[in-house]
Amino acid sequence: MLALERLKQCLLDESSKKLNELTRILSSHKWYLPSKGKEIGDIYKQVAQQKSREAYEAAYKYLLGDLDLAPHDYDLIAFALSEPIVELSGRKVVSDEKKLNELLSRYSKEIDQGKFWELTCLGILQSYFQLSDADNALDVLREFLRSKFKRIYESCGFKPVWMEASNNNQHLLSEEPL
């Protein structure tokens, strides 16, 4: 768990550095950052809440075996892998070994075909950080991220801060991160 905390802190530190640098650059212009910052923050908060609900619903349908999921639903599920589905007695995608392996296999094929959405990787990474040892999926997600991250990183034209931080600290996804 110490390694997870270190990776979280590295991601936060890198994000903070980039945000401070951007704020410094933008503040030299005559833009009114506080109101724009709040406006942008409100928009992201609203979008995040909506996506969170959509991810939960997609995970619920996936665990039920719904075959009518849209392709983007599979991307959303990545953000809810460790989310307990109340309607299914708290069942999680990561707790269902068969469903988790099916999903990771789908993601692997998309990565190999160059059709993987990098934000899905962020969802997997976030879900990984939310796991506890009790979920018995830490090793599975760690191995997936470890083995596929380089390919995802190389295929992305734009690399957000979280991706750069993850790339610079890949050792934290190893079996012996220290």
Tens of pLDDT, residue by residue over 114-137, are: 888 778 888 888 888 888 766 678
pLDDT of residue 157 exceeding 90, the answer is: no
| pLDDT for the residue numbered 26 | 62
Measured distance CA(5)–CA(151) in Å, rounded? 24
Structural domain tally of the chain? Answer: 1
Give the bridge partners for 85, in sequence order.
Answer: 91
Within a 13 Å sphere around the CA of 142, how many CA atoms are in the beta-carbon half?
22
| Assigned domain for 150 exists | yes
pLDDT of residue 103 exceeding 90, the answer is: yes
Tens of pLDDT, residue by residue over 29-66, are: 555 555 666 666 665 555 455 568 889 999 999 999 99
Give the phi and the psi of residue 113 in degrees, each rounded to 5.
-90, 0
Pair of tokens at residue 172: 């934290």
Of 65, 129, 63, which Cα lies nearest the Cα of 90? 63
Measured distance CA(46)–CA(31) in Å, rounded? 23
| pLDDT for the residue numbered 12 | 65
| Assigned domain for 73 exists | yes
Sign, CA dihedral 45-41-163-69, equals positive
Span 100-107, mean pLDDT? 95
| pLDDT for the residue numbered 166 | 87
| Assigned domain for 178 exists | no
pLDDT of residue 4 exceeding 80, the answer is: no
| Assigned domain for 143 exists | yes
| Assigned domain for 8 exists | yes
Span 147-163, mean pLDDT? 85
| pLDDT for the residue numbered 78 | 92
| pLDDT for the residue numbered 62 | 96
Q: Give the pLDDT band (50/70/90) at residue 11.
A: low
- Single-letter residue type at 103: L
Instruction: State the greatest distance between any 2 C-alpha atoms of the chain, in Å, as a whole number.
Output: 55
Its domain, for residue 95, covers 2-173
| pLDDT for the residue numbered 42 | 62
| Assigned domain for 35 exists | yes
Mean pLDDT (the chain) is 80
pLDDT of residue 100 exceeding 90, the answer is: yes
